[in-house]
Amino acid sequence: MPWEHKTILLGVLTVYITSLVLGVEERPRDAECADLNNTTWHGYRGQRVKLQVQYLLLTRRNVDCAQMFNQESLTKEPSYFNSSHPTKVIVHGYRALGSKPSWVKELAQALLRVQDVNVLVVDWVYGASFAYNLVVENYKEVAVQISVLINQLQKHGCKLESFHFIGVSLGAHVAGFVGTLFEGKIGRITGLDPAGPMFKGADTFDRLDPSDALFVDAIHTDSDYFGISIPVGHVDFFLNGGKDQTGCARSRFPSILVYFPVYGYVICDHMRALHVYMSALDGSCPLKGIPCFNYDDFLKGHCVDCDVFKGTCPTIGLSENSGIAISPIPKEQKLFLLTTSSPPFCTHHILLELKVSPLDKSAEVEVTLRTGNLGTEQRLRLQTSTTVYRTVLTHPVALCEIESIEMKNTGALFYRQGEIHFQSVCLSEFPALRREEPLCVNNINVRRGALWSHDFVQVCGIF
């Protein structure tokens, strides 16, 4: 389904949802706490509204109560802004329903739990909630307004390298143009599934690219529809290939009853980048990317190390390895990793290597890794022309906690191989967290329709 069709469906759903919520009284908010704007969606009228940009400030001193922030705030008391601290700038993207982004406070608080920083939220909801093509025409003006504020902050002691922009969808390109205006001297830009429509073929001047900051990283989760499919940073994480995310609906539109599943599908894939990023901030579960030419090569086990980064795999988030310490930083490096469908999203990458004696006929084998009641299955088609197979599996626990491996010869038809002789079956975890030897079993014969199993007697770190 082309993204244009999804946009139409999203618009129809928008009208329906808006009709449900109109007239619902908004919950009163604390008069002392600032909040983002809320507006009525007006994309079908195609009307422009005056671009309004405001800023909200959150710090560890006011983590639950945002303060409205502007140039005057720097000289007013009380102001929670500390020019000696780094500053995170959050930029939201297109607001199809005209509603304020509900995730902003959660992201700001997650950032503040990790670092003592200023968090500035750029609120441009009023300019982001009409027809998408008109919103795209506005994004550079938003960036210009942000640059005015950054210039003022520099006069009060802030350094350009202390700014880290986090842009979601279209907000990533807003951040990129701010970086362009400052000739790439901004410290860092993180793009969370940067918008694709109207940007995939754009010049680097008009979209996020590595020259926009000293370090640019991006997470891609919906690159076949609303996200961009090309690398836009020094490092680009393509989660599960950057397209369909685990646990997201796969509904299309056979009837009017699927409007909600389609809407959920659109938001789920596109917003997964944001949720993975927030989850990764605490660093409890490292999400490491593996450099590879494409996703297919990654799944075939052709890429298992980070030699291009001198052995240190880039990690999503703000940990020490989230940036790259080497210089010069490689540009537009595609990084791949697999995730689960829910927080903390991390899983263990297990490389399965099979060496098979030459076959007379094709065969099919099902490999299962087991740890307690946890099981991971992978089905492989074996050909007469190939004797070595490599494939990547995911498992909930580390290699050293795998208790057994099962091999089942699933070929039941008369023309399939009767017996398969495996010269070796080896498992290894990557990227290597420890100097672990692969788990290997040699000389296995599995008859057609039979199940073979082998138990590993091991403890993590002891073999």
Q: Report, as an integer, the average pLDDT of 220-228.
A: 95
Lowest mean pLDDT across 98-102, 345-349, 373-377: 98-102
pLDDT, residue 79, reads 82
Q: 323-347: per-residue pLDDT in tens?
A: 787 888 888 999 999 999 999 999 9
Please write the tens of the pLDDT for every residue from 340-368.
999 999 999 999 999 999 998 888 999 99
> In the CATH scheme, what architecture does the domain 348-455 have?
Sandwich (2.60)
* Out of 2-16, 131-145, 146-160, 182-196, least confident range: 2-16
Q: Model confidence over 377-418: pLDDT tens digits?
A: 999 999 999 999 999 999 999 898 999 999 998 875 555 667
Task: Report the DSSP pairing between strands 235-239 and 215-220.
Answer: parallel
**Looking at the chain, which residues constitute the CATH 3.40.50.1820 domain(s)?**
3-337
Long-range contacts of 131-137 (CB under 8 A, 24+ apart): 131/43, 131/44, 131/46, 132/7, 132/43, 132/94, 132/197, 132/198, 133/198, 134/46, 134/48, 135/94, 135/170, 136/170, 136/198
User: What is the pLDDT confidence band of residue 24, given thresholds at 50, 70 and 90?
Assistant: very low
Higher pLDDT, 448 or 379: 379
Task: Give the per-residue pLDDT at 59.
Answer: 97
239 touches 256 (CB < 8 A): no
In which band, very low, low, confident or very high, does the pLDDT at 434 lie, cut at 50, 70 and 90?
low
Q: Span 116-124, mean pLDDT?
A: 97
Percentage with pLDDT > 90 across the chain: 63
Mean pLDDT of 280-304: 94
Q: What is the pLDDT of residue 235?
A: 96
- pLDDT value for 260: 45
**Confidence label for 437 from pLDDT (cuts 50, 70 and 90):** confident
Judged against a pLDDT cut of 80, whether residue 279 lies above it is answered with yes
All CATH 2.60.60.20 domain ranges of the chain, comma separated, are 348-455
Question: In a 10 Å sphere around its CB, with 0-12 CB exposed, 13-18 middle and 19+ buried, how is residue 208 labelled?
Answer: buried
Query: Which residue has tokens 């842009």?
Result: 167
| Mean pLDDT of all residues belonging to the chain | 85
| Percent residues over pLDDT 70 in the chain | 83
User: Residue 114: how many CB atoms within 10 A of its CB?
Assistant: 14
For 128-171, what is each residue's pLDDT tens digit? Answer: 888 899 899 989 999 999 999 999 999 999 999 999 999 999 99
Contact yes or no for 250/268 (Cβ under 8 A): no
**pLDDT score for 284:** 84
Residues 154, 161: Cα–Cα separation, whole Å:
11
**Selected residue with higher pLDDT from 76 and 50:** 76
- What is the rounded CA–CA span in Å between residue 41 and residue 126? 9
In the predicted model, what is the mean pLDDT of residues 188-194?
A: 98
Q: Are the C-beta atoms of 189 and 175 separated by less than 8 Å?
A: yes
Paired with 389 in beta bridges are 354
Whether residue 47 has pLDDT greater than 60: no
* β partners of residue 427: 352, 439
For the cut 70, the answer to whether the pLDDT of residue 42 exceeds it is: no
Active site residues: 169, 193, 270
Which fold does the domain 3-337 belong to in CATH?
A: Rossmann fold (3.40.50)
Q: Give Cα 449 to chain centroid, integer Å.
A: 41
C-alpha distances (whole Å) from 313 to each of 36, 79, 307, 430 are 37, 39, 8, 10
- Rounded CA-CA distance 266/280 in Å is 22
Q: How far is CA 29 from the centre of its chain?
A: 32
Residue 370's pLDDT is 94
Which band of pLDDT confidence, cut at 50, 70 and 90, is reported for residue 70?
confident
Higher pLDDT, 197 or 460: 197
Q: Are 427 and 438 in contact (CB under 8 A)?
A: yes
Q: Is the pLDDT of residue 124 over 70?
A: yes
Q: Give the pLDDT confidence score for residue 19 in this predicted structure.
A: 31
Considering only residues 40 and 280, tell me which one the structure prediction assigns the higher pLDDT.
Answer: 280
CA angle 223, 433, 116 (to 5 degrees): 70
What pLDDT, on a 0 to 100 scale, did the predictor assign at position 150?
97
